[in-house]
Chains A and B, each alone.
Chain A
């Protein structure tokens, strides 16, 4: 977030939403002018010498918004900091990340969320919107001071005990009701705790063979069904984190058909990877919820395509080497994902024809922005590229192919499941309120 108004920038021959090449003038933190390619002269637009980006061949999308990022600060600065995590975010094309509450201390007070928010501002790579914990210490016993967090400088609107499920039905009901007062949303990590005691991976054919305690799909689906019913009953907003099963997609589709205010996100890794990878016993593939089956992957892609799943969220979860270089059961669950999200979405959704570029804009930027309660969200993908739209933009080369090298990622942690994979699409530049945070694929 910038406090000074950014100097004007001219983007030449960029292709908004992959369409016809156009010149975009960014000024005053907004898209000030749009013309056909070659239609804006830098001199007339008052653009300073260096502030012209020849974007020939690059596509533009509204800057991505991640509803689910673990920045690890405060508490685990060895794994990630606000500075390193938001660098990774900007390099991945993100202009806003929602920082999850499971830090140490937990983000369950106005003090902690304001600290994280200020760290984000001073880093300056993207907007950091802290998520507040639903319950004190993520313990699932008492509500945290949700109102204090909402009215703090961090203006928290998303509350989540992510990593833990608010499994107590009464507490969940109260949380859903309470946040209506400030148009908050409860983002639920749906995991019935008794059904997942000791769980290590998806319960099914692979877990049976590998001798690992299963994390059954029903443990996620039962909570989603319950929460959807609760949200419908009290008329509140529910957001379902990292949906991972075919059954969950069906339940969410049903809840939406009822007209209930239920939204959902899916992670890139659940769109691409399956539980067969656990056969390596390499904990880089350990994640919660776990990788599921190919049938689940197909249902998640279909759900994201038809809008049942509103948003892609990374669940970027950095871990220090000693928390991953272990036997599977001892490892912490989670994967880094900010710099690979766009590429995985292109591979799993765009290239198979499930989502067009306007669809990517909707799922990776506009929908998560609306769910997270961000101000000034363009009404649709087209207007996100039009005059007056916030100058939050991601410019990328959809044709580029790159090989994922963990050491080359900006995160402090190396736990990417895509090591060595060749992925499509490379972010070239990111603009935050008209100011470049990334140029030439490098942090500015």
Chain B
């Protein structure tokens, strides 16, 4: 493994599989009455969240606690950050406090990359701007593998606001690495200008793609996008790109419906689809904890933080 988890674009196939296999072991722990391992006792994990995200922060917090790490939640609101402190000074503060890992959520794409150059500890990207959200993609792959046995060779359709979605980007690279065939479906306004260079198929027609999909991932669509003229109205968006019951019925019987949450019921996904047997939405949340445990375990379980230097982004972590 790299010392940091910043993106899935630079995650090697064997490392991705190692995370998924480790997550499998972690998931078994959740079935026990005492859901705790002593592995990261004495290590400090800082959750550095510059954007509100109760679900992701809680998931990381639970993951770190189940590995017996000390967890500090450092939220930007009400801290020195809101008084104008720079990301670099915040990083140096955490460094001085001896953080072994920093889990960062930030509105700026690339903020975790910058942080990784300023701290000795491992950096985990918990979502940066419109760039990546690697643990979400890993938990999605984990969920697919648990349900369908493999990711390799599957036809995965990602639907919605790809342009602004860090979840979509992380999934595109990881699913490709794991051998899936990805199709993006969105109005042309919500696809990035350079999408032609991505290893994916692109369609503007959801109905044409659904019957050939093993997995459909629905992305959240923010109502504010209407103001940027990305689409005319919610209703039109929902009609053309929403997954309602009629559309879901055209999926193969085994096909999964996924959503990273939080979802807008009635907008990109109908309630009866979100709550149907093929929906994995609740499982994804549970699997998120296992995958994040695996990531923290693999990044921190080995070498001591004091043996590391900043800027050594690709140093190896000793096996443990």
**What is the size category of the interface that chain A forms with chain B?**
20 to 34
The answer to whether A281 has its CB under 8 Å from any CB of chain B is yes
Contacts of A214 in B (CB 8 A): 192-194
Known: A280-B113, A330-B108. 7 other contacts (CB 8 A): A208-B195, A208-B197, A213-B130, A281-B109, A326-B88, A327-B87, A328-B114
Contacts of B197 in A (CB 8 A): 205, 208-209
**CA of A207 to CA of B195, assembled, Å:** 10
On whether the beta carbons of B109 and A328 are closer than 8 Å, the reply is yes
The answer to whether B266 has its CB under 8 Å from any CB of chain A is no
B178-213 CB contacts (< 8 Å) to partner A: 192-195, 197-198
The answer to whether B4 has its CB under 8 Å from any CB of chain A is no
Question: Counting chain A CB atoms within 10 Å of each CB, which of B88, B107, B110, B166 scores highest?
Answer: B110
**CA of A257 to CA of B185, assembled, Å:** 45
The answer to whether A43 has its CB under 8 Å from any CB of chain B is no
Contacts of A280 in B (CB 8 A): 113
On whether the beta carbons of A205 and B194 are closer than 8 Å, the reply is yes
**CA of A200 to CA of B114, assembled, Å:** 16
A327-B106, A327-B114, A328-B110 known; A209-B169 Cβ under 8 A? yes
How close is B11's CB to chain A, nearest CB, in angstroms?
14
Q: Mark B143-182, 1 if CB is under 8 A from A, else 0.
A: 0000000000000000000000010010000000000000
Contacts of A209 in B (CB 8 A): 9, 169, 194, 197-198
A326-B114, A327-B87 known; A211-B130 Cβ under 8 A? yes
How close is B148's CB to chain A, nearest CB, in angstroms?
28
A209-B169, A211-B128, A211-B129 known; A329-B108 Cβ under 8 A? yes
On whether the beta carbons of B194 and A281 are closer than 8 Å, the reply is no
CB < 8 Å neighbour of A207 from B88, B132, B193, B198: B193
A204-B193, A326-B87 known; A210-B108 Cβ under 8 A? no
The answer to whether A417 has its CB under 8 Å from any CB of chain B is no
**CA of A206 to CA of B197, assembled, Å:** 9
How close is B265's CB to chain A, nearest CB, in angstroms?
27
A280-B113, A281-B114, A322-B86 known; A327-B108 Cβ under 8 A? yes
Contacts of A205 in B (CB 8 A): 194, 197
A204-237 CB contacts (< 8 Å) to partner B: 204-214, 216
How close is A401's CB to chain B, nearest CB, in angstroms?
26
**What is the size category of the interface that chain B forms with chain A?**
20 to 34
The answer to whether A203 has its CB under 8 Å from any CB of chain B is yes
| Count of A-B residue pairs with CB < 8 Å | 75
On whether the beta carbons of A203 and B110 are closer than 8 Å, the reply is no
The answer to whether B111 has its CB under 8 Å from any CB of chain A is yes
CB < 8 Å neighbour of B166 from A203, A211, A326: A211
Contacts of A325 in B (CB 8 A): 86, 88
Q: Which residue of A lies closest to B191 (CB)?
A: A208
11 A-B pairs with CB atoms under 8 Å apart are A207-B192, A208-B192, A209-B9, A209-B194, A209-B197, A210-B131, A212-B131, A214-B192, A325-B86, A327-B87, A329-B108
**CA of A285 to CA of B110, assembled, Å:** 13
**CA of A216 to CA of B193, assembled, Å:** 9
How close is A60's CB to chain B, nearest CB, in angstroms?
43
How close is A330's CB to chain B, nearest CB, in angstroms?
6
On whether the beta carbons of A212 and B194 are closer than 8 Å, the reply is no
Closest 5 CB pairs of A and B: A281-B110, A211-B131, A208-B194, A208-B192, A205-B194
A209-B9, A322-B86 known; A327-B192 Cβ under 8 A? no
Q: Which residue of A lies closest to B110 (CB)?
A: A281
On whether the beta carbons of B111 and A327 are closer than 8 Å, the reply is yes
Q: Which residue of A lies closest to B196 (CB)?
A: A205
Contacts of A213 in B (CB 8 A): 130
How close is A198's CB to chain B, nearest CB, in angstroms?
10
**CA of A216 to CA of B129, assembled, Å:** 19
How close is A146's CB to chain B, nearest CB, in angstroms?
36
On whether the beta carbons of A204 and B194 are closer than 8 Å, the reply is yes
On whether the beta carbons of B86 and A208 are closer than 8 Å, the reply is no
**CA of A214 to CA of B163, assembled, Å:** 11
**CA of A325 to CA of B90, assembled, Å:** 12
**CA of A204 to CA of B109, assembled, Å:** 16
How close is B125's CB to chain A, nearest CB, in angstroms?
11
Q: Which residue of A lies closest to B130 (CB)?
A: A211
Q: Mark B55-93, 1 if CB is under 8 A from A, else 0.
A: 000000000000000000000000000000011100000
Contacts of B193 in A (CB 8 A): 203-204, 207-208, 214, 216
On whether the beta carbons of B108 and A203 are closer than 8 Å, the reply is no
**CA of A264 to CA of B16, assembled, Å:** 50
B111-145 CB contacts (< 8 Å) to partner A: 111, 113-114, 128-132
Q: Mark A122-150, 1 if CB is under 8 A from B, else 0.
A: 00000000000000000000000000000
Contacts of B195 in A (CB 8 A): 208
Q: Which residue of A lies closest to B197 (CB)?
A: A205
A209-B169, A211-B109, A280-B113 known; A329-B194 Cβ under 8 A? no
Contacts of A281 in B (CB 8 A): 109-111, 113-114
**CA of A208 to CA of B109, assembled, Å:** 11
Contacts of B129 in A (CB 8 A): 211-212, 329
How close is A314's CB to chain B, nearest CB, in angstroms?
26
How close is A48's CB to chain B, nearest CB, in angstroms?
53
Contacts of A328 in B (CB 8 A): 108-111, 114
On whether the beta carbons of B130 and A212 are closer than 8 Å, the reply is yes
On whether the beta carbons of A210 and B110 are closer than 8 Å, the reply is yes
How close is A268's CB to chain B, nearest CB, in angstroms?
25
**CA of A38 to CA of B148, assembled, Å:** 87
CB < 8 Å neighbour of A203 from B111, B113, B194: B194
**CA of A408 to CA of B113, assembled, Å:** 27
**CA of A327 to CA of B111, assembled, Å:** 5
Q: Which residue of A lies closest to B131 (CB)?
A: A211
On whether the beta carbons of A208 and B88 are closer than 8 Å, the reply is no
Contacts of A212 in B (CB 8 A): 109-110, 129-131
**CA of A213 to CA of B166, assembled, Å:** 13
How close is B259's CB to chain A, nearest CB, in angstroms?
20
Contacts of A282 in B (CB 8 A): 114
A180-211 CB contacts (< 8 Å) to partner B: 200, 203-211
**CA of A209 to CA of B109, assembled, Å:** 11
